[in-house]
Structure 1
């Protein structure tokens, strides 16, 4: 029987927030390599079983959870190359899910998966589930399933601090916009902004580097991600305009594993206090206020 994950202390949550920043990222995966303070946010379930879930069976047989993540997105999914510490909202959501099925930090292997390879990583069994600004779309649901959404944001624009030409998506004609290969935002630009040039890299951090060196005019992805980059270099970068899409972040899981999907959806639905504590300790440090979305229990 599920032992609910619980918030266990405001003081400990505050301690976690002190580590929600870092430097550049390293694409190598780690196996429980960081010293995160997730125990401050939730407990690890004991004597847990989940009958009828191929995902859980694979985890149980292996004795560890393999989670696909991003590691170059400050505030969401970030790896500090110097310390090996992973921080961010998505990372804590991933840990929460693992804890809910009985696995603590020592039994988690994080794998950095580029946006374009997320579905194949799930389909091929390279990871057990994926948590990393993964927008729920009908096209993706042809190959995989999603639990959630656990967060809602929208596509935005990041530009150089001194850029006065781009104030919103209405100013993109003739400009070069960068995003991650295979991401929803780059597809939106290609399909709906025909007069805009595009540049693609595996990671958003590469796009930010291109923006800083002047080879692209803007970076586009979910505004939550862009705010993280802007907060790292406020004298060089800024977010402009308002979100011009709606993006629902979900946990990507194996197609047809209704048991695991239902478990995660119930975790989100019943764990509102834990969700809020995770948000407050990560993205909430920007001062933004959000409401936890209802899951789509399809």
Structure 2
């Protein structure tokens, strides 16, 4: 009886050991798989490091955020400084960056085609866009407003009635918002903001609509134009990366958090917007 009992205990011990080995092997296999999964989501960062350059889509036509100086060829603005901070965080040098011009219409296709690593270009986070790209946390809060020439009878969105011509930019959320909030107005769309602003000054429209931060930049260019009616939408800007590149978005979010904690973000904000960000 004692021999049988001892043999039984030995068999049970062997069985448990085999189960344990199976669990251990399963755990080892999962552990071996996880780095592979991480490699997929952080491919953009690895590509940037291998290339030694951060290629980012920015605006060339948006005063205060991304505007190209025709004399020097330099592009400067709030978004440009944020993009340089990302380059410095990944590569240790903010000059290891290539700025590529995008518009509201071209930026997502260029990202998805691999022409750029990320979009830092006054891009509003929307549920529709989330289907195509991944966004970081909000890095700038804006709101849609109206720009008119001083003395204009248009003072708010309520004045956008039948016969009023509203100028906007192709691919922007502002054009869609106007179609919903002022359906009787006629909307004329342009390729970029400078073209739209030039059209407004030439009398081709009655008002120009987009985010207040962008319109503020236009008032700085020409003080004959003012913003009216306040904000009638919320436009939270996010930095866009390719769909599935969660590790890249996480890295940028950590950088933004660090910049806000150190005061660097506030300095950039005040440099371009003339005031400290509201808390």
Q: Does the alignment reach a TM-score above 0.5?
A: yes
Which of 223, 229, 234 is residue 246 of structure 1 equivalent to?
234
Tell me the equivalent position of 1:280. Answer: 270
1:289/1:274 CA distance change after superposition, 3 Å: closer
Tell me the equivalent position of 2:16. Answer: none
Contact 1:157 1:241 in 2 (8 A): yes
Q: Distance in 2 between matches of 1:124 and 1:251?
A: 17
Show the 5 A alignment for 1:11-26.
Answer: none
Contact 1:68 1:129 in 2 (8 A): yes
Deviation string, structure 1 residues 112-151 (Cα, Å, up to 9, x no partner): 1110111111111110001011000010010100112001
SS of equivalent to 1:270: helix
1:261 equivalenced with 2:262 (yes/no): no
Tell me the equivalent position of 2:25. Answer: none
Q: Distance in 1 between matches of 2:172 and 2:50?
A: 33
CA-CA distance at 1:166 after TM superposition = 0.5
Q: What is the alpha-carbon root mean square deviation over aligned residues?
A: 1.5
1:291/1:97 CA distance change after superposition, 3 Å: farther
Which of 66, 76, 84 is residue 87 of structure 1 equivalent to?
76
Q: Distance in 1 between matches of 2:51 and 2:259?
A: 27
Query: TM-score, structure 1 length as denominator?
Result: 0.77
1:289/1:242 CA distance change after superposition, 3 Å: farther
CA-CA distance at 1:107 after TM superposition = 2.0
Tell me the equivalent position of 2:5. Answer: none
CA-CA distance at 1:106 after TM superposition = 3.5
1:219/1:103 CA distance change after superposition, 3 Å: farther
1:230/1:202 CA distance change after superposition, 3 Å: same
Deviation string, structure 1 residues 158-214 (Cα, Å, up to 9, x no partner): 111231x10011111121111110100001111231101000111011111111010
Q: Distance in 1 between matches of 2:199 and 2:127?
A: 31
Name which of structure 1's ranges 137-146 and 85-94 shifts more when overlaid on structure 2: 85-94
Show the 5 A alignment for 1:227-238.
Answer: 227-234=216-223, 236-238=224-226
1:180 equivalenced with 2:166 (yes/no): no
**Which runs of at least 4 in structure 1 moved beyond 4 Å after TM superposition?**
none
Tell me the equivalent position of 2:198. Answer: 209
Number of aligned residue pairs: 238
Q: Distance in 2 between matches of 1:132 and 1:218?
A: 23
CA-CA distance at 1:291 after TM superposition = 2.8
Tell me the equivalent position of 2:130. Answer: 141
Q: Distance in 1 between matches of 2:158 and 2:276?
A: 27
Show the 5 A alignment for 1:56-135.
Answer: 56-135=45-124
SS of equivalent to 1:101: helix
Tell me the equivalent position of 1:271. Answer: 259
Tell me the equivalent position of 1:10. Answer: none
The structure with the larger Rg is 2
